[in-house]
Amino acid sequence: MQTAPKTLFDKIWEQHVVVPETEDTPAILYIDLHLIHEVTTPQAFSLLRENNLKVRTPQKVLATMDHSTPTVPIASLKDLDIVSESGPAQQIRDMIQNCKDFDIELYGFESKYRGIVHVIGPELGATQPGKTIVCGDSHTSTHGAFGALAFGIGTTEVAHVLATQCLLQRKPRTLAVNLNGKLNEGVSAKDIILKVIGQIGVGGGTGHVIEYRGNTVASLTLEQRMTICNMSIEAGARAGLFAPDEATYEYLDGRPRSPKGKEWDRALKVWKGWQTDTDASFDKEVDIDVSALTPMITYGTNPGMVMSIESTIPDHKGNQSLKKALDYMHFESGKSLLNHPIDVVFIGSCTNSRLSDLRDAATILKGRKIAENMRVLIVPGSQSVKAEAEAEGLDRIFRESGAEWRESGCSMCLGMNGDTVGSGKLAVSTSNRNFEGRQGSGSRTILASPKTAAASAITGSVQDPRQFETQV
């Protein structure tokens, strides 16, 4: 009997079904890799303690600390209270204790591998094609760049996975986003995903897993694919996926947790099968002409309120949510944001804090100074990224420009670790959310690519990076 053609998502799903879905009950889905961090796990560990349960498979849990951690350097954990408030400091200490009590390996403060959970998973080679990966964090979608089915879960579900290595799940629908054409100079993966979100809306992907397809894909690096998958959740999607290819295998070869020797050969054979069949159909399809893209910026208070940097802010046409957003941002319909003064630039977060992002920013900042009275914070995604950037001298370029160069962490993306934009202040940020107060109470955020953020840092106003001669 011939089987119906399947999508990559269908194949990964089917491979991980422990108990099939029925009308009355969701599927029990096996989870290969569980990433955890300090913010969304305390109540899950409490639940295990209350029920006298153990972590079923500690070796399938990868733990780090990123959200609450300070990005100013401290000599050791003992100095945490000097730089952190009591809440975040306690959360960090509890995480250490929880991992110890439940036999989970923690990439903690002293680890050279510590960093944002979605940066270190791939760096360590823990993120691999065909795996199911979850984390109590919506940006878990990042790992889909490797052809893994990766999605965010809540804390109750974190407890479920800790105790059983499984989740109760209804099968999502599929959405193909076809990316075609060549990316222009000065335009980045961030601009692609902002365009996608603008086109389908912040709820456009709800209930769906996106697979990114089309002729642009082969030319995208894994870091670019991670940026795109990362923000798939901002379109409401459960997950984003790219089928693995030679670039994926090359990225994973030799990573600490990648298979070695004969295991590698065996894994490669399996990984090559994680592809959507030729005639497979998707529940929905969307086409994006990548060659027509310009740098993108947001003007409102969600990532769907986004436009070309060359455009003017649209008319709210009585839409109360958009009107409220523009009031919050102090922006007006019909106006361009080019040359609009800003206070802060943040380059970092799980969206744009990898080596290529920092290199992008450095090509513009090299030999230039940031504008007076500007605060520019550059935060590497992991201690490994930090070390690599410093080995290339990127830290010197940043410091000489007047920017602050920090230790790794989530930092100003969500403002719960001491790094905030400031009330009423306007930031151009490479992070993923421009929600009201996301970067600290009262903060206002324009989302953009690392190049756009760097260009804006130099003039102290929103700038198109294409007008800056880049220095390699």
- At residue 458, the 3 state secondary structure works out as helix
Return the range that interacts with another protein (CB under 8 A); candidates 45-53, 108-116, 181-189, 368-376: 45-53
* Crossing angle of helices 86-101 and 42-50, rounded to 10°: 40
Phi, psi at 419, each rounded to 5°: -95, 110
Q: Which of 79, 73, 147, 146 is nearest to 114 (CA)?
A: 73
Distance CA 423, CA 440 (A): 7
Number of residues in contact with another protein under rule CB under 8 A: 66
Q: How far is the CB of 352 from another protein (least distance, A)?
A: 18
90: contact with another protein by CB under 8 A: yes
51: contact with another protein by CB under 8 A: yes
433: contact with another protein by CB under 8 A: yes
302: contact with another protein by CB under 8 A: yes
How many whole angstroms from its chain centre is CA 137? 10
Distance CA 94, CA 38 (A): 8
415: contact with another protein by CB under 8 A: yes
Q: How far is the CB of 154 from another protein (least distance, A)?
A: 4
C-beta of 34 vs 433, nearer to another protein: 433
**How would you list the strands of the sheet with 166-169, edge to edge?**
17-19, 27-30, 166-169
Distance CA 401, CA 229 (A): 31
Which of 111, 164, 199, 459 touches another protein by CB under 8 A? 164
CB-neighbour burial class of residue 201 (10 A; exposed 0-12, middle 13-18, buried 19+): middle
C-beta of 138 vs 356, nearer to another protein: 138
C-beta of 18 vs 387, nearer to another protein: 18
Q: How far is the CB of 320 from another protein (least distance, A)?
A: 7
Return the range that interacts with another protein (CB under 8 A); candidates 108-116, 177-185, 199-207, 291-299: 199-207
442: contact with another protein by CB under 8 A: yes
CA distances from 8 to 167, 244, 253, 254, 279 (A): 20, 10, 22, 25, 12
- At residue 77, the 3 state secondary structure works out as helix
Q: Which residues, 232 to 271, sit near another protein by CB under 8 A? A: 234, 236, 238
Which of 11, 67, 114, 366 touches another protein by CB under 8 A? 67
Distance CA 254, CA 325 (A): 47
180: contact with another protein by CB under 8 A: no
Q: Which of 402, 175, 161, 135 is nearest to 282 (CA)?
A: 175
Distance CA 40, CA 38 (A): 6
Which of 55, 65, 88, 242 touches another protein by CB under 8 A? 88
Residues within the interface to another protein (CB under 8 A): 18-19, 23-26, 28, 30, 39-40, 42-43, 46-47, 51, 53, 56, 67-68, 87-88, 90-91, 94, 136-138, 152-157, 159-160, 163-166, 168, 170, 172, 202-203, 206-207, 234, 236, 238, 302, 304, 320-321, 324, 414-416, 423, 433, 435-438, 440-442
